[in-house]
């Protein structure tokens, strides 16, 4: 039987399957459907300092090969996550979890990461730098190597747990951003976040989403995500969590061959809430077909 375990910065996962932040909540809803302890881990809902209702509605638009969302980081805030969500999460998930942290200033990132770092159940802190920097005209932290490095350095100064920087694909050079994060002390890289997209209602002649544009995710973005994971693997020497359009076990193997040590499943959770257990069940069978004895051996295999 194939060994499908993998490792992220010393954290051993039973398998590489991790539901992505924003598509799995805090785990409780999915725990009603299946035992979520079969997962390698999961990245919980993006958390900010203050509670956020999110963007105006409508904020979801369907596409043929995916979806566009402009939810706007709706979350209960760091205090409620620590005092309410994490204790409730412990009732349904016994493994270390990935804490996804977002922010609109360097100080906010630093504050939230310092708080969540003290929580025993958190194994990895995933820092979403696709947020707009309110002190720099709204440009996302992740679009500038200097800004990405500034957030990384600030977060690392107040944390002891592994920090993975989650990168935006909406940049001219994803490798420059990844290298900047590594140089500033990042323990790993998560990529990619959503692409920027939009839909127009041709009967109203107006954008479907209230914010006009939003994050495009789903199967259509998989080749783009795979390409970026491949490029970043060649540019840095820290682990990568790959994501973007992954929807089957074959996609997981591709991502790992491109350089990912683990793989997050995002939009697919929303179309099929059982997609993660299905992939976990299929992985050993696929590995047998491909004559893979140890899944972690294929990480970066496509680089020759």
pLDDT at 134: 59
pLDDT at 206: 97
Residue 201 in domain: no
Residue 258 in domain: yes
The pLDDT confidence band at residue 289, using thresholds 50, 70 and 90, is very high
Q: Is 300 left (phi over 0), alpha (psi -120 to 50) or beta?
A: left
State mean pLDDT over 140-159.
Answer: 95
> Is 63 a residue of the active site?
no
Query: Is pLDDT above 80 for 243?
Result: yes
Residue 274 in domain: yes
Residue 200 in domain: no
State mean pLDDT over 72-85.
Answer: 96
pLDDT at 304: 79
The pLDDT confidence band at residue 133, using thresholds 50, 70 and 90, is low
pLDDT at 77: 97
State mean pLDDT over 62-76.
Answer: 92
Query: Is pLDDT above 80 for 94?
Result: yes
User: What dihedral do alpha carbons 234, 225, 22, 131 form, nearest 10°?
Assistant: 70
Higher pLDDT, residue 136 or 87:
87
Q: List, for residues 222-236, the tens digit of each pLDDT value.
A: 999 999 999 999 999
Burial label, 260 (beta-carbon count in 10 A; 0-12, 13-18, 19+):
buried
Domain boundaries, position 261: 6-52+76-194+219-303
The pLDDT confidence band at residue 117, using thresholds 50, 70 and 90, is very high
Residue 296 in domain: yes
Three-class DSSP category at 236:
coil
Query: Is pLDDT above 90 for 131?
Result: no
The pLDDT > 70 percentage for the chain reads: 97
Q: Within its chain, how far is the Cα of 198 from the centroid?
A: 21
Residue 62 in domain: no
The pLDDT > 90 percentage for the chain reads: 93
- Which of 131, 181, 276, 287 is catalytic? The answer is 131
Omega before 8 within 30 of 0, i.e. cis: no
The pLDDT confidence band at residue 137, using thresholds 50, 70 and 90, is low
State mean pLDDT over 155-164.
Answer: 98
Omega before 192 within 30 of 0, i.e. cis: yes
pLDDT at 103: 93
pLDDT at 54: 86
CATH number where 41 lies: 3.20.20.70
State mean pLDDT over 140-166.
Answer: 96
Domain total of the chain:
1
Residue 236 in domain: yes
State mean pLDDT over 170-193.
Answer: 97
Whole-prediction pTM: 0.96
Q: List, for residues 246-277, the tens digit of each pLDDT value.
A: 999 999 999 999 999 999 999 999 999 999 99
Query: Is pLDDT above 70 for 284?
Result: yes
Q: List, for residues 190-223, the tens digit of each pLDDT value.
A: 999 999 999 999 999 999 999 999 999 999 999 9
The pLDDT confidence band at residue 140, using thresholds 50, 70 and 90, is confident
Residue 210 in domain: no
- DSSP letter at 142? G
Alpha helices, DSSP H, located in the chain = 28-31, 78-80, 86-90, 106-117, 145-156, 174-183, 222-235, 249-258, 268-271, 275-289
């Amino acid at each position: 039987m194939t060994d499908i375990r993998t490792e992220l910065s010393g954290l051993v996962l039973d398998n590489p399957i991790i539901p992505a932040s924003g598509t799995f909540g805090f785990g409780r809803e999915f725990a009603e459907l299946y035992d979520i302890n079969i997962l390698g881990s999961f990245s919980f809902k993006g958390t900010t300092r203050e509670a956020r209702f999110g963007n105006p509605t409508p904020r979801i638009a369907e596409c043929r090969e995916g979806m566009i969302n402009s939810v706007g980081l709706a979350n209960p805030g760091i205090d409620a996550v620590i005092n309410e969500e994490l204790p409730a999460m412990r009732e349904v998930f016994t493994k270390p979890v990935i804490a996804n942290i977002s922010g609109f200033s360097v100080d906010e990132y630093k504050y939230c990461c310092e708080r969540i770092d003290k929580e025993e159940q958190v194994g990895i802190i995933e820092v979403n730098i696709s947020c707009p920097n309110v002190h720099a005209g709204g440009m996302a932290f992740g679009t500038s190597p200097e800004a990405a490095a500034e957030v990384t350095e600030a977060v690392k100064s107040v944390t002891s747990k592994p920090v993975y920087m989650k990168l935006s694909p909406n940049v001219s050079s994803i490798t420059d951003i990844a290298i900047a994060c590594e140089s500033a002390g990042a323990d790993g890289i998560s990529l990619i976040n959503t692409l920027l997209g939009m839909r127009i209602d041709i009967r109203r002649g107006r954008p479907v989403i209230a914010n006009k544009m939003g994050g495009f995710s789903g199967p259509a973005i998989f080749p783009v995500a795979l390409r970026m994971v491949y490029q970043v693997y060649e540019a840095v020497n820290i682990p990568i969590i790959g994501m973007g359009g992954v929807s089957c076990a074959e996609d997981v193997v591709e991502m790992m061959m491109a350089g990912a040590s683990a793989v997050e499943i995002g939009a697919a959770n929303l179309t099929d809430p059982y997609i993660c257990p299905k992939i976990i069940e299929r992985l050993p069978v696929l590995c047998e077909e491909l004559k893979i004895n140890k899944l972690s051996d294929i990480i970066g295999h496509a680089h020759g």
